Amino acid sequence: MSAVPSSLAPSPSSNPNKALWEKGDFTRIAATMRESGESLVRAIGVTKGMKVLDLGGGDGTTGVPAAKLGAEVLVVDIARNLVAAGTRRAKDEGLANLRFQEGDATNLQGLKDHSFDLVVSIFGAMFAPKPFDVAKEMVRVTRPGGRIVMGNWIPNDPTLVAQILKISASYTPPPPEGFISPMTWGLETSVVERFAGAGIPMDRIAFARDTYLFNFPGKPSGFVADFRKYYGPTMNAFDAAEKNGRAAELQKELETLFAAQNRNAGAGVTSIPATFLRVTVTR
């Protein structure tokens, strides 16, 4: 695999996208997503020796299972703390074929053209600004005949994550002018437009609705507490809500949502499915 500079991303203070994901500790949420990460990697046909780039891969929810299947995996993520956590996981699991690297999906400088068989980005690259640049970079580093698989939350979808993000946004000050919502990656028309800008015709893009399951070993209110403490977008919403005296209202709204969506009500554990748009691009 190509050599990559040790840091591809600007400092947190100058980059709000990076600051958002370094603010909390996403590993605490990712721990509830492992089962679906494994299923997804199996479903998309990761095989031994395949060169895989996992973009916005966090601490390895999909990177670890892909490496366990024998792929050569590079996880690129903008958050320094998640890169460190992923590197520890790879070491603990004895996975010499799994590397974590700090970098920005909008500019994958240091990664060579056509160097991956598969680029995976599950709820990762959708959070980067400049979506047209992100599509171009993903296409650039994928080999002809290779694939890009994205998992994107869907705007206004009634299930968990789309609703958390919607509720959180309603308590947070409006974003700066020109800000493009990450949720637009969940709209097929936007996806087609962005990949068209990278030279990919529509007939090479396939869409499917898929489900991720969040498994938390406690009550829904405990899971809400983790989002409040560790998940950047929800942390920002609570920061703003506290200033406006609305934190209790936000807490209640989220607890109602989590309790209503829990499939294991009464069992003392929480299991919540969330729908996403799975995008497959053939290069």
Which amino acid makes up residue 126?
A: M
Report the C-alpha gap between 204 and 141 in whole angstroms: 17
Q: Among residues 51, 84, 82, 83, which one has the least CA distance to residue 67? A: 51
Using CB under 6 A as the binding rule, whether residue 234 contacts ligand SAM is answered as no
Q: Which of 44, 64, 85, 122 binds ligand SAM (CB under 6 A)?
A: 122
Specify the residue, 18 or 219, whose C-beta has the smaller distance to ligand SAM: 18
From residue 4 to residue 33, the character string flagging contacts with ligand SAM as x (rule: CB under 6 A) and all else as - is -------------x---x----x---x--x
Specify the residue, 16 or 268, whose C-beta has the smaller distance to ligand SAM: 16
Shortest spacing between CB 203 and ligand SAM, in angstroms: 28
Shortest spacing between CB 79 and ligand SAM, in angstroms: 4
Where in 134-153 is the site for ligand SAM (CB under 6 A)? none
Specify the residue, 84 or 265, whose C-beta has the smaller distance to ligand SAM: 84
Torsion sign across C-alpha atoms 260, 263, 266, 267: negative
Contact status, residue 67 vs residue 100, Cβ threshold 8 Å: no
Helix (H) or strand (E) holding 212: strand 205-216
Strand duo 116-122 + 142-153: pairing: parallel
Shortest spacing between CB 231 and ligand SAM, in angstroms: 8
Specify the residue, 168 or 266, whose C-beta has the smaller distance to ligand SAM: 168
Report the C-alpha gap between 67 and 181 in whole angstroms: 31
Where in 45-104 is the site for ligand SAM (CB under 6 A)? 56-58, 61, 77-79, 82, 104
Q: Which of 32, 101, 106, 152 binds ligand SAM (CB under 6 A)?
A: 106
3-state helix, strand, coil in the chain (%, to 5): 45, 20, 35
Q: Write out the two tokens for 173.
A: 């000050």
Specify the residue, 42 or 243, whose C-beta has the smaller distance to ligand SAM: 42
How many amino acids of this chain bind ligand SAM (CB under 6 A)? Answer: 21
Q: Which of 123, 223, 258, 276 binds ligand SAM (CB under 6 A)?
A: 123
Contact status, residue 50 vs residue 227, Cβ threshold 8 Å: no
Strand duo 270-282 + 142-153: pairing: antiparallel
Shortest spacing between CB 55 and ligand SAM, in angstroms: 6
CA dihedral 145, 101, 16, 166 (to 10 degrees): 60
- Distance (Å) of CA 91 to CA 86, 140, 151: 9, 30, 26
Shortest spacing between CB 49 and ligand SAM, in angstroms: 23
Q: Which of 73, 119, 128, 205 binds ligand SAM (CB under 6 A)?
A: 128
Query: What residues line the site for ligand SAM (CB under 6 A)?
Result: 17, 21, 26, 30, 33, 56-58, 61, 77-79, 82, 104-106, 122-124, 127-128
